[in-house]
Structure 1
Amino acid sequence: MKQTIVLGNIITMDEKRPFARAALVKDGVFAYIGSAEEAKKLAGADAKVLDYGENFIYPGFLESHCHGHLAGLRFIGQADLMQAGLTDYAKYREIIKEFIAKNPKREFYVAAGWIENDEYVTKAYLDEICPDKPLLLQTGGGHSMLLNTKALEWAGIDAAYAKKYGYDQVHVDENGEPDGYICEGPVFEIVPKLPTTIEDIKEYLLAWQDFALRSGFTAVCDAGAEIVHRDAPRAYHELEVEGKLKLRTYAYMYVLDNIENPKAEIARIAAQRATISGEYFHIVGAKAFLDGVTEAHTGWQNQDYADEPGYHGVERFNDHDKMVELITEADKEGMSVHVHSEGGGATHFMLGCIEDAEKITGNKDQRNVLAHLHFVTEEDIHRMAETGSVPAVPPLWTAKIPGHYEIEVSYVGEELAANAYPIKSFYDAGANVVFHSDYPVSPMMNVKYSIYTAEKRSYPKEVLGGIDLPNNEKEAITREQSLRAMTINVARQWRQEHRMGSIEFGKLANMTVFDCDFLHDDIEKVAQANIVATIVDGEEVYKA
């Protein structure tokens, strides 16, 4: 039997015993939490000791919505435009050309992290960089893409394709020919077709695992594990069989917009769960997109866009009856449905579907997840709690960033923009609030900055140089609420609260050590916190 004594200032997130000085771990599970003296008495003579002194030990942090394959792909498989900072097309050109020069044998090139601004670029920009091979430029958010001529030819995007999808999603020139810009449905259709191998995907997933563990996360949700490639779940499974996974992943399988047969789709996902789910990769439900994002003019709003009367955004999965069937069939399998729901119209639609599904199932504890929640009415905040739905909120997106905020105001108006991203209201309504980063769609997955932005509703100065301002400060929450939104509440989302999310007897011995007391230290000290170690199953998997 492996035994480990863990010493330090332990913040357990267990209401019955919130603090301790020691934990005894036996075979990867907590056997005792309490005093150092007692832990040493109970341990065997051969017990290993992890002594973190006066540092602070938390339950291993949990991420409720991210994209593991995509993260690894961006680490090592694509040109990284985020290093340019804000939009700089000259710098983008340099980064892409350098990546192409380093990878001359590739038949395909993708550059990710593009930030759109008022300067409109077309395929001509990319043709100048790479005229002879497909080149795709993708936004950090992943909802928009620019293709060069070769990439358009490869994807089969022509005038007929543009007409089929609509000119909001496939932009055309004065002759009706695609100009290279696509968004939403077409992007999610072609991304899984990008050439890759199962061994490539495994390499990307291991790079992602290394990043997540170094960042203090011991379990994550892959929200749409098949979005980038249909073989990603198989790659996870093979890595687990090979004994290479340490990071636990709870996955929602990607469902196409208005899927033809929701019952058959849930049966497909249940069959996958039966064949490839394990301890470190486990399928828990289905993932669908209801809309796009407000900054791309595609979020599904409750009202028309201020700059375009008669248009309220892109409705993706918008078939009420099919969504109700998807939810009810998932419930039969003990699974839930996780949706991208950015605009207020999308959220209102989804809650109506959940309510009607609950009338059929009688289950108000299915724990369906609505992620992003840019704009939510007071009525829908309460409906979220009443239906037992899980609001996955992004504290890292709450700041008012000059330029971006003004665009938002031009789309939805000042009043709505000033009330963006509620968090406290969900807590007040009694909902099980979880934090998400949407990494790498958004550029940060960061414990200390999540706590900081949830309290301050702006970034610490070192992030953007102090140019951002707080927004909707009445939605700020306490430190304890922030910690719960990254630990025990996320465990509840996955129905894993009996196994993780707090430091208690019988739970998995997953912990994260920081040099900061997130509950009591000054908020500016929180912003400077350093990770010391990450522990999975009682074993130190990362040490700073």
Structure 2
Amino acid sequence: MFAKKAAGALLLASLLVPSIGHAQPVVQTKSAVQPADMILQNGAVYTVDRNRNWAEAVAVKGDTIVYVGTNEGAKAYAGAQTKVVDVKGKMVLPGFIDSHTHASKTTGMIYTVDLFELGSIEEYVKAVKEFVKKYPEETAIQGRGWTNSAATGIGPRKEALDEVSKDIPIALTSDDGHSLWVNSKALEVAGITKSTPNPDGGLIERDPATGEASGTLREKAMDLVLKKIPGLSVEQYMNGILEYQKLAAERGVTTARDPDMLRYPNVLEAYKQLSEEDKLTVRFRNAITADPAKGPEQVKEFIKLREENKGPHFQINAVKIFMDGVVEGATGYLEEPYKHKHTRGQLIWDPEVYNETAAAVDKAGFQLHVHSIGDAATRITLDGFEYAEKKNGQRDARPSIVHLQLFNPKDMERFKKLGVIGIPQPYWFLKEPGFFEEIEVPYLGRERAEEEYPMKSMINAGIVMASGSDYIVTQEFNPLHGIQQGITRIEEGKTDPKDIANPDERATLADMIASFTIDGAYANFVEDITGSIEVGKKADLVVLDKNLFAIPATEIKKTNILWTLFEGKEVYRNEAFK
């Protein structure tokens, strides 16, 4: 008993973030002093600049920071019309950056069946029945949020949804976005029969007794149905993006990358219209999703779309590639087989086609942004980056790999040499109840499951790690949650060291803040305008009610965002901030 208590105490002690006294505040100023529009004073301003300096005051003129330094120094910027805000010792940070978030999928949370808070087949079916009753005129039903742990193996069956309707197609995307649960009508509309082969990069789950499609489609097989049923409109996507912006402002997010342009009809047009109407309050640097069936030829169209979308708040600067699937669908591509299926998973791209596409994307000046879950998929991804560099020559390409659930340490040096940026989701760094023991351990084996999601070792190796939420997969995308999870790597409320997920990979508070600010800016090619509180950068600022360096890491999630500024304009104010 004493040993357990002692271990728990040691764990809690290890999670305490050391309090950092303010160093002599940095002073940054311009030679010609003009009155500022606004001054924030009496703050604990953590600038996240190169030297991780602290300051007391920030002056803003228009959309730009013109002074960072002491309260005394800020007085020179005070004019008759200057608004002076006393932040009363509260912490001030740069606006947060979410380097991988499906902002536009907020649309689905509004206009389709929301299954995220449910957990069983029975609950899912009930929710769909209620939706059909509420919207009887719908000619197809879509939704999202069912979890693979509710139906392991071949996934949920079509018969359960046939109880809702056999007359209209029903297509429900899993919470991770890599599987589709459909009814018999959806299979019929898509022309999927017993003899339909698996498409390249996809898997049709089948009844083990009959060989018939059982009702779950994985990866590229999802498109067989999704391309045959009505999608959401431009107006609906616009409303969804606007709703995301409200949520983002409440969470202090001012810059984001949405990687789903072209994968879903009307998303690109929705962003374009919002940009033209000057309604964007998040700086989006988005990615176009490449089609593995089209290869390098599609890059010509990507260039055209990039040229057509060059607004200050919406640009396309990257190309997204799905290299593999996910562990829970047994489609993440592994070096060693899964324990329960004895297959290595699903490689979505032919390696040769991928290499040539990667080279074409790189030559066109796009950043590569690759989804890779399995260690084998990451190795193939790196091969493509290396091929592109050899073919095109070295440049400031900053290719990125998203997720990195399983990673072979032998690839660390090549990762760094190629200048690859890691885009982890620290929200997932825990032994999640109902998932870790029920899926990851049986599918991967305990040894591999215990070695997931390296982060600290990659930071120590000099690799830039820029965190993303993968919202809507991660429902609560508040960066403060991600920061805490990256430090603790344990389920909230637990203290037993055995419950820490891969404890050697716990990052520091400074690491985690950087991953959501300056490193995120670097990952998205916006470090010259945001990511730190420095003179000349945009006034993307967040005020917190607690100094993160003065509280235990286990309390970070409970910290409140009080005020969010995007380019000097207020986009969110907590009622507690007077």
**Does the TM-score normalized on the shorter chain lie above 0.5?**
yes
Q: Is it true that 1:508 corresponds to 2:538 in the alignment? A: yes
Q: Residues of 2 paired with 1:163 and 1:230: CA distance?
A: 24
Show CA shifts across 1:139-167 (max 9, x none).
Answer: 10011111112222233323343455699
How big is the shift at 1:382? Answer: 2.3
Show CA shifts across 1:466-502 (max 9, x none).
Answer: 9992111000010000001001111111111111100
Q: Contact conserved, 1:198 with 1:232, CA < 8 A, in 2?
A: yes
Show CA shifts across 1:332-376 (max 9, x none).
Answer: 332211111000000011112212221222315311110110110
SS at match of 1:458: coil
Q: Is it true that 1:396 corresponds to 2:427 in the alignment? A: yes
Show CA shifts across 1:399-442 (max 9, x none).
Answer: 11244223222222222111110001111111111112111023
When residues 187 and 40 of structure 1 are mapped into structure 2, their CA distance, relative to the original with a 3 A threshold, is farther
| Corresponding position of 1:444 | 476
SS at match of 1:438: coil
**Which one of 54, 58, 66 corresponds to residue 31 of structure 1?**
66
**Which one of 222, 229, 239 corresponds to residue 203 of structure 1?**
239
**Which one of 249, 269, 279 corresponds to residue 244 of structure 1?**
279
Q: Is it true that 1:78 corresponds to 2:109 in the alignment? A: no
Q: Is it true that 1:469 corresponds to 2:499 in the alignment? A: yes
Query: TM-score under structure 2 normalisation?
Result: 0.88
Count of aligned pairs between the two proteins: 534
Show CA shifts across 1:219-244 (max 9, x none).
Answer: 101122222x2321121011111121
Query: TM-score under structure 1 normalisation?
Result: 0.93
| Corresponding position of 1:487 | 517
Q: Contact conserved, 1:75 with 1:207, CA < 8 A, in 2?
A: no
**Which one of 290, 304, 316 corresponds to residue 271 of structure 1?**
304
Q: Contact conserved, 2:202 with 2:220, CA < 8 A, in 1?
A: no
Q: Contact conserved, 1:240 with 1:281, CA < 8 A, in 2?
A: yes
| Corresponding position of 1:529 | 559
Q: Residues of 1 paired with 2:252 and 2:521: CA distance?
A: 16
Show CA shifts across 1:190-242 (max 9, x none).
Answer: 44654222111111111112111211100101122222x23211210111111
> Unpaired runs of 5+ in structure 1?
none
Q: Contact conserved, 1:370 with 1:390, CA < 8 A, in 2?
A: yes
Range that drifts further, 497-506 or 45-54: 45-54
**Which one of 38, 60, 72 corresponds to residue 4 of structure 1?**
38
Show CA shifts across 1:255-309 (max 9, x none).
Answer: 012x4341x3222111101112211111111111010001111100011222333
| Corresponding position of 2:9 | none
How big is the shift at 1:188? Answer: 4.3
| Corresponding position of 2:17 | none
**Which one of 550, 554, 574 corresponds to residue 520 of structure 1?**
550
Range that drifts further, 363-372 or 151-160: 151-160
Q: Residues of 1 paired with 2:525 and 2:202: CA distance?
A: 42
- 1:260 aligned partner, one-letter code: K
Q: Contact conserved, 2:121 with 2:156, CA < 8 A, in 1?
A: no
**Which one of 162, 172, 182 corresponds to residue 127 of structure 1?**
162
When residues 408 and 524 of structure 1 are mapped into structure 2, their CA distance, relative to the original with a 3 A threshold, is closer
Show CA shifts across 1:72-123 (max 9, x none).
Answer: 1232012211122xx2222223322222232232222222110123645311
Q: Contact conserved, 2:465 with 2:519, CA < 8 A, in 1?
A: yes
> Unpaired runs of 5+ in structure 2?
1-34
Q: Is it true that 1:317 corresponds to 2:349 in the alignment? A: yes
| Corresponding position of 2:398 | 367
| Corresponding position of 1:221 | 257
- 2:381 aligned partner, one-letter code: M
**Which one of 343, 353, 371 corresponds to residue 384 of structure 2?**
353
Q: Residues of 2 paired with 1:194 and 1:164: CA distance?
A: 21
Q: Is it true that 1:497 corresponds to 2:533 in the alignment? A: no
When residues 286 and 92 of structure 1 are mapped into structure 2, their CA distance, relative to the original with a 3 A threshold, is same
SS at match of 1:432: coil
**Which one of 130, 138, 145 corresponds to residue 98 of structure 1?**
130
SS at match of 2:149: coil
SS at match of 2:538: coil
When residues 208 and 190 of structure 1 are mapped into structure 2, their CA distance, relative to the original with a 3 A threshold, is farther
RMSD of equivalent CA atoms: 2.3
Q: Residues of 1 paired with 2:416 and 2:67: CA distance?
A: 34
SS at match of 1:58: strand
Structure of higher CA gyration radius: 2
- 2:186 aligned partner, one-letter code: A
Q: Is it true that 1:385 corresponds to 2:416 in the alignment? A: yes
Q: Residues of 2 paired with 1:523 and 1:304: CA distance?
A: 37
| Corresponding position of 2:357 | 326
Q: Residues of 2 paired with 1:519 and 1:284: CA distance?
A: 35
Q: Contact conserved, 1:535 with 1:542, CA < 8 A, in 2?
A: yes
- 1:308 aligned partner, one-letter code: K
SS at match of 1:187: helix
How big is the shift at 1:465? Answer: 12
Q: Residues of 1 paired with 2:260 and 2:195: CA distance?
A: 29
SS at match of 1:105: coil
- 1:69 aligned partner, one-letter code: S
SS at match of 1:161: coil
- 1:460 aligned partner, one-letter code: E
Show CA shifts across 1:31-75 (max 9, x none).
Answer: 1111223223213311223332222110000001111111x1232
Q: Residues of 1 paired with 2:285 and 2:506: CA distance?
A: 28
